[in-house]
Amino acid sequence: MRILLSETDAMAERLLTARLEALGHDVTARHTPGGNLLSAPDLGSYDILMAAPPHPVSRMRQYMGEVRAAAGHYPYVVLIVPEPEPLAPRSVPVPVPPPGPGGGINAALRKPLDLTLLPHILENAERLTTFLDRMEAAEEEGGLALATPIRGVLEPAAFAQVTHAAMDRIARGRGGAGLVAVVLEEDDGGKPEALGAALVDLHRKSEILGRVGAQHFALLLQDTHGAYEAMTMEARIMEGLAARPEMRGRRVRATAIALPGGQKMAEHTLTLGANAASGTLLA
């Protein structure tokens, strides 16, 4: 993945660059005035942005919105949180946003840096970025490459709209969300209507079901604890699919993902024999 690193501390920059490159990523280290990512050229060419918080931090959400607008897509943002400075007499500490979902950031690294956290953060970033890229690609295709619309399933453009609205709500600090990505892992001629119809029957009214590709579906759960409840939703959906006769001979994978961090909460693969009465769930 392409990573833009904006770090004013030369030692931290060298450590992060070396570790990121060792993990196989393409890193561009660039000093931006005050850590302001908006001054970086070609912002849209990066998948991950790693930088210190802007000043003032009170406008974090607005700043992140401007950064993503300038990028033209949804880059994964990792905030490098500086160490708190020792309090001098009559000094006032500079507030630093916590590494939570608010403000539009996806993850945070606190100083002193714990480089063992990087692989996990990058794995989450790749998972979320891959999902969003697939969703946006399906949206741009306008559904032309998809099969006949399935009643009860949002088409890519509509599902992308509600997903981005959920991400914006999280950026405002209003809880989290979770989603379950469901993919038919076989060549079905691009017409997985049976899976789509089964998901329509199995999902609940609080879960928004949409299509994000020819053989890809997703369920969005907008709730304060949606990221954790997505694990329960993923298990319930897969158990329901395993019990449906029309899913025999199919191979389906479902992954529960937390928003906005992209953490994998749970993942199972359903394999059904052509004559099986029930499926086997593989973690």
Cβ pair 173, 102 in contact under 8 A? yes
pTM of the model: 0.83
The predicted pLDDT at position 56 comes to 65
pLDDT along the chain (283 residues), means of 10: 88 92 93 75 91 74 88 91 60 44 81 90 94 84 62 90 89 83 75 87 91 90 75 91 84 91 90 51 45
The whole-angstrom separation of Cα 30 and Cα 37 is: 10
Q: Is the dihedral of CA 139, 164, 213, 147 positive or negative?
A: negative
What is the topology classification, in CATH, of domain 145-282? Alpha-Beta Plaits (3.30.70)
The whole-angstrom separation of Cα 261 and Cα 177 is: 10
Give the domain ranges of the chain. Answer: 2-113, 145-282
The predicted pLDDT at position 88 comes to 46
Count the Cβ atoms, other than its own, within 10 Å of residue 279.
23
Please say whether the structural domain 2-113 has been given the CATH code 3.40.50.2300. yes
**Residue of 252, 209, 256 whose CA lies nearest to 231:** 256
The predicted pLDDT at position 144 comes to 47
The whole-angstrom separation of Cα 202 and Cα 183 is: 15
DSSP conformation letters of 119-184: HHHHHHHHHHHHHHHHHHHHHHHTTTTS-SPPTTSB-HHHHHHHHHHHHHHHHTT---EEEEEEEE
